[in-house]
Amino acid sequence: MRIAVIALGKIGLPLAVQFASHGWQVIAVDIDPAVVTSINAGRSHVTEEPELAAAGLSIRLAPALAALRVERLDRIDRALQAMRDPSYGTCALCGREIEVERLAAALETRLCGGCAGEAVQPRA
Ligand SMILES: [Zn+2]
């Protein structure tokens, strides 16, 4: 089973690590690129909190950090950015309307299916 943990602060990171240390596949996301980079490099920003380090969390965090896959919310950021543009929903190459199914699958897309060279499957 997979678990997603959103935001890796004092609660989110230890929680994600606990799931990972019990063999669950954990995907964690955080909006702070510095947090994502440090965790993906095997370092925890949370263990610098004195009370957490004193509780031995830093020791338990270290091996389980390797089991975490941490991502930044770039897709959502890009989608929100794209929606601010008045031309949102219009293909950046041909100017036609982007298919609703395509936008539903990838909110941040700027190209219609034809220009992207992808087949868009209509909804049943
Ligand atoms: Zn197009």
Q: Name the pTM for this structure.
A: 0.48
CA of 99 to the centre of ligand 1 (A): 10
Residue 32 inside a domain? The answer is yes
CA of 5 to the centre of ligand 1 (A): 36
On whether both 17 and 58 belong to a single domain, the answer is: yes
User: How far is the C-alpha of 107 from the C-alpha of 45, rounded, in Å?
Assistant: 31
Q: In which residue are the tokens 């004195």 written? A: 50
**CATH, residue 63:** 3.40.50.720
pLDDT digits (tens, 9 = 90+) for 29-50: 888 888 888 887 777 777 655 5
CA of 122 to the centre of ligand 1 (A): 17
Residue 55 host element (H or E): none
Residue 96 inside a domain? The answer is yes
On whether both 15 and 41 belong to a single domain, the answer is: yes
pLDDT digits (tens, 9 = 90+) for 60-112: 566 667 667 777 777 777 788 888 889 999 999 999 999 999 988 888 888 99
CA of 71 to the centre of ligand 1 (A): 30
User: How far is the C-alpha of 68 from the C-alpha of 91, rounded, in Å?
Assistant: 36
On whether both 9 and 64 belong to a single domain, the answer is: yes
pLDDT, residue 87, reads 92
pLDDT, residue 93, reads 95
Residue 103 host element (H or E): helix 100-105
CA of 13 to the centre of ligand 1 (A): 42
